[in-house]
Amino acid sequence: MNFYYSFFVVFSIAFSIHANAQEHPNLILTKSGVETIKKQLGTIPIFDTTLNKVKNAIDQEIASGIHVPIPKDMAGGYTHDRHKKNWITLQQAGVLYQLLADDKYAKYVHDVLKEYAKIYPTLPLHPQTRSYARGKIFWQCLNDSNWLVYVSQAYDCIYDYLSKKERDNLEKNLFIPYANFLSEGSPQFFNRIHNHSTWGNVAVGMIGLVMDNQELIDRALYGLKSDNIDPNQKDNDGGFIKTKGQKTGFLANLDEPFSPDGYYTEGPYYQRYAMYPFMIFAEALQNKKPELKIFEYKNGVLIKAVYALLNLTNANGEFFPLNDGQKGMSYYSRELVSAVNIAYHFGGNDPSLLSIAKQQNRIQLDDTGLSVALGIQQKKAKPFIKKSIELRDGSDGTQGSVGILRSKNQQFGLVMKYTAQGLSHGHYDKLSFSYYNKGNEILQDYGLARFVNIEQKNGGGYLKENKTWAKQSIAHNTIIQDEISHFEGKFKIGSTHHSEKYLFDVSNPKLQIVSAKEDNAYPGTNLHRTMLVLEDNDFENPLVIDVMQFKSKTTHQFDLPFYYNGQIIDTNFEYSSPETLTKVGEKNGYQHLWLEGKSILKEERTLQTTWKTNQTFYTLSTLAKQNDEFLFTRIGANDPNFNLRRDPSFLIRKPKQEEGVFISVVEAHGSYNYVTEIANNAHSNIKKITKNSTKNKNYVSWSILTKKDKKHTFVLCTTDSNNKTSHTITINGKPFSWVGPYTHNKEN
């Protein structure tokens, strides 16, 4: 059997599988798939290796006995970790039973499930009371759902191994009450637009598919018909549970949080988390309900979502930590192994996905994993090229975007965020950006303030510093007015707005541009940020140019921080250094910053600071006016539990202004080698930044003068982004004419 059928062939095969829908397994593994896999075993390295690893782990686990403790602990505690381990073990043991045809695995799954069936009927709510939706096995329904998504697969695998009586016992005492508890018993959890609900929907749907229980399947797909949720009720993260009249269920969770480009509004970290239930349920639906054509749903948004996620990573495959995201999470996670396998198998066998799968070096033990393993074995893999890309946010793609500019060599990546709020995991950082070089964070997004699953840190849950620091605007590389976060840091306000794309143009690889506006973060103030990546012989590496414009009806203080890493090498200006460290401000995150140094400008000039991260030098050049301030800050104030990293930043402050612009340039230059001790090109190549007078409020213009006196002049029209409009203005007495929203001119 050739597994390299096209998207449409998949459907016809899926239909033929459907004809045998009553034969188990038929959820993720299929009867015919298992036969094919068995024939190939021992001949496909990556499949065999994964299978062996799983077998070793599960054999060890089975040998340790059966452990189904009465639930008691928070995340990181024994009962939590044990039940979590059980769900994986059960799912994998089920797969082993099918692929290796060894009854010991089926027996083990059955034995464990019997223990759960014994305790479940009388289990009260979990004793830990922290969640807005407490579970029974775990402290929150979310984890109970995780469990059922995996365990449904195990049940499907041993379904035919069990007698009817044995199945009746498990279904009556465990699976049906379990599914009812997660849905009807927990409407505030089940009937939402949120990754939590997706897990809940899929848990109920998966077990419904195994048991052929149409009522549960419908509940999963379309939500509960009634729920009586109070529209003012909030979850633990401060997000609203549900707005009135909102559709719910699995399909609604595909409709709403996913944009047409496959971007998930909560951000990549949670998209990764939700990807597993989305994709695994889609695979199950494709196997059992192909008439739903789930992979074609919303123009194939599920497959697009996998590509979106792969593009939302740095050179090491780590997700950009937009909104709440723990750094280090990457496409090496099991969710992405599964997603890439399913996207390859059901999404047209794109050979570039095989190069990601090769890096992942393991597969999902099913038909999709077999396809991938065979593709790799047959050397079909092609490089996955991450290009500059704009990923729109909002269910119809009109609620802003994430714009990613990458250098030609793929080493440099600039990520600018001008999205919607991102539900309860959203941060208040409109128009923020982060910047990477070869997988290193050069200008970082802080990420979340949480140590996931580390018990000592608040049971592994969100720390209060997530609210007081990580979500605040000052924790990001974006503009802050009067030391107040965007939308006053209020979810109710933030979640009704989004930024507006102005321009995203990557047609010229030598000068890429992203530009967006934000008019609601501060009522009465218009913000407009434009970022360019220039590749030019005058500079060793791509240059990041940042033009942050602001205009208000009244006078305010405007701050623009840059969170760098590493050691300051040099500055071209004087500053004062305090004898004692005091916090930069009183609230909205400022109370977490120490002030390490300060300069108040006596006259307009280009301020430069050079630092070194790992083995590369970087220089931030910024045009400052008289009375502007340059602050050296460091995170760590008001942090008695050492919950925050002691990371530094440069903070450029324009006090008391109505209107203005921050024009800054970030250069990566040179190198330092700790073995040869050779420092190359340790100095900035920029002499000066100037702002040019345009005498026309619809334009902004600036020039960058290099140390070799090459002058790069830029003009941007800020009111018309049409790329066919002609413009003519005079700058410094010189006429400029061009077509489209911006121009760049180089003089020697």
Q: Which residues are catalytic?
A: 270, 425
Mutual angle of helices 367-377 and 334-346, in 10-degree steps: 80
Tell me phi and psi for residue 120, to 5 degrees: -60, -45
Among 60, 496, 577, 732, binds a copy of itself (CB under 8 A): 577
428 CB neighbour count, 10 Å cutoff: 27
Choose one: 133-141, 159-167, 221-229, 452-460; the region binding a copy of itself (CB under 8 A).
Answer: 452-460
Cβ contact 283:342 at 8 Å: yes
Choose one: 395-403, 492-500, 562-570, 652-660; the region binding a copy of itself (CB under 8 A).
Answer: 562-570
Query: Can you say how many angstroms the Cα of residue 596 is from the centroid of all Cα atoms in its chain?
Result: 32
Residues 460 to 519 in contact with a copy of itself, rule: CB under 8 A: 460
Residue 459 found at the interface with a copy of itself (CB under 8 A): no
Residue 326 found at the interface with a copy of itself (CB under 8 A): yes
Q: How far is the CB of 66 from a copy of itself (least distance, A)?
A: 21
Cβ contact 61:104 at 8 Å: no
Q: How far is the CB of 570 from a copy of itself (least distance, A)?
A: 4
Q: How far is the CB of 332 from a copy of itself (least distance, A)?
A: 5
What is the spatial distance between Cα 209 and Cα 493, in angstroms, rounded to a whole number?
40
Mutual angle of helices 7-18 and 268-288, in 10-degree steps: 50
Residue 332 found at the interface with a copy of itself (CB under 8 A): yes
Task: Give whichever of 455 and 488 is closer to a copy of itself, judged by the CB atom.
Answer: 455
Which residues are registered as beta bridge partners of 135? none
Among 244, 642, 656, 733, binds a copy of itself (CB under 8 A): 642
Residue 315 found at the interface with a copy of itself (CB under 8 A): no
Tokens 């790799």 sit at which residue?
A: 376
Among 63, 674, 708, 748, binds a copy of itself (CB under 8 A): 674
334 CB neighbour count, 10 Å cutoff: 12
Task: Give whichever of 331 and 491 is closer to a copy of itself, judged by the CB atom.
Answer: 331
160 CB neighbour count, 10 Å cutoff: 13
Pick from 310, 306, 301, 276: which is nearest to 383 by CA? Answer: 310
Choose one: 227-235, 340-348, 450-458, 464-472; the region binding a copy of itself (CB under 8 A).
Answer: 450-458
Residue 600 found at the interface with a copy of itself (CB under 8 A): no
Choose one: 4-12, 92-100, 165-173, 446-454; the region binding a copy of itself (CB under 8 A).
Answer: 446-454
How many residues at the interface with a copy of itself, by CB under 8 A?
52
Angle subtended at Cα 476 by Cα 465 and Cα 272, rounded to the nearest 5 degrees: 75
Cβ contact 558:661 at 8 Å: no
Residue 597 found at the interface with a copy of itself (CB under 8 A): yes
What is the spatial distance between Cα 445 and Cα 516, in angstroms, rounded to a whole number?
18
| Radius of gyration for the alpha carbons in the chain, expressed in angstroms and rounded | 28
Residue 293 CB partners (closer than 8 Å, separation 6+): 11
Tokens 């590493």 sit at which residue?
A: 566
Pick from 303, 310, 308, 313: which is nearest to 384 by CA? Answer: 310
Residue 453 found at the interface with a copy of itself (CB under 8 A): yes
Which residues are registered as beta bridge partners of 514? 504, 531
The SS3 assignment for 301 reads helix
Residues 363 to 392 in contact with a copy of itself, rule: CB under 8 A: none
Among 169, 316, 330, 411, binds a copy of itself (CB under 8 A): 330
3-state secondary structure 431-443: CEEEEEECCEEEE
Among 454, 508, 658, 732, binds a copy of itself (CB under 8 A): 454
Which residues are registered as beta bridge partners of 665? 545, 621
Residue 594 found at the interface with a copy of itself (CB under 8 A): yes
Residue 672 found at the interface with a copy of itself (CB under 8 A): yes
Residue 329 found at the interface with a copy of itself (CB under 8 A): yes
Choose one: 44-52, 184-192, 547-555, 668-676; the region binding a copy of itself (CB under 8 A).
Answer: 668-676
Residue 333 found at the interface with a copy of itself (CB under 8 A): yes
| Dihedral Cα 265, 269, 272, 275, nearest 10 deg | -40
Choose one: 135-143, 451-459, 480-488, 555-563; the region binding a copy of itself (CB under 8 A).
Answer: 451-459
Task: Give whichever of 196 and 634 is closer to a copy of itself, judged by the CB atom.
Answer: 634
Residue 748 found at the interface with a copy of itself (CB under 8 A): no
Among 11, 276, 451, 539, binds a copy of itself (CB under 8 A): 451
Residues at the site binding a copy of itself, with contacts judged by CB under 8 A:
76, 326-330, 332-334, 451-457, 460, 567-570, 575, 577, 579-583, 594, 596-597, 610, 612, 632, 634, 636, 639-642, 645-646, 648, 672, 674-679, 682-683
